[in-house]
Structure 1
Amino acid sequence: GTTAFILASVSYRSKDGGVTSQRIVAKEIAQFLEVQEVHIITGDWDLIIKLRAEAVDSIGKFVVDKLRLINGLEKTLTCMVFETIKETTKLIIPKKSIKKTVKN
């Protein structure tokens, strides 16, 4: 399979003149089976999307035929993954060090 990360920009005025939001657009994108993750982010882009597909052309078809048709989505930047060095869902939270106080 192939993985891509897609940066997306949201236009807060939809094509029909209504108002939309990052959350509304993100929830619509999240409905697609190819999409593994959707995050609302800070910076020049509004969303980052993690996508998995059979091949590069499948990702292209998804972007052109599905993603770009979403109301409120202004532009996208697709970043293809060449190689994954680490990927995990395991979360390790370090325990706070417990300092013992010495009473005199």
Structure 2
Amino acid sequence: MNYKLDTKDIDIIAVLQQDASLSIAKIAERTNLPSTTVHNRIKKLREHKIIKNYTVNLDKDQISGNIIAYILIKVFQANQRDIVHHLLKRPEVEEASIITGDTDIIVKFRVHSIHELDRFIIDDLRNIPGIQASKTMISLETYEK
């Protein structure tokens, strides 16, 4: 059964997205809802897996580097999922998607230096069986919603 979100749920979620460490009382204060309502709503949102867990937003630029590259990969006579799972084992790979069109896989990759990107492409990517070709694009600017 799908849970239907209402404006109270959306307000609570918006506050949690800004700071998931807030107490029920602070969330109630910011949403102008009673604490018991906030508590019960959060409980329901968790039960329906709308809120799955609370996370920490890290500064990825400081931790993993500020050079972001997208690598387009063409696969030949290989299982795309196997290649994706292999790539996801690398800490530099943030995400990988199997896509439609002329390219089979797109990988979002983050490093501290061009040298690290070069090492990955030459020493790792080019040695994965089944990869026919790749095209790397470096992101100049990134915007998030």
TM-score scaled by structure 1?
A: 0.73
Unaligned runs of 5+ in 1: 13-19, 89-104
Q: CA RMSD in A?
A: 1.0
> 2:122 is matched with which residue?
64
TM-score (norm 2): 0.53
Q: 1:32 aligns with which of 90, 93, 98?
A: 90
Matches within 5 A, 1:1-104: 1-12=66-77, 20-84=78-142, 86-88=143-145
Structure having the higher Rg: 2
**Shift of residue 9 of structure 1?**
0.5
Write 1 or 2 for the structure with the bigger share of helix: 2
* Separation (CA, whole Å) in 2 of partners of 1:87 and 1:55: 22
Runs of 4+ in 1 over 6 A off after TM superposition: none
Identity of aligned residues (%): 35
RCO greater where, 1 or 2, for CA within 8 Å and sep 6 or more? Answer: 1
Gap runs ≥5 in structure 2: 1-65
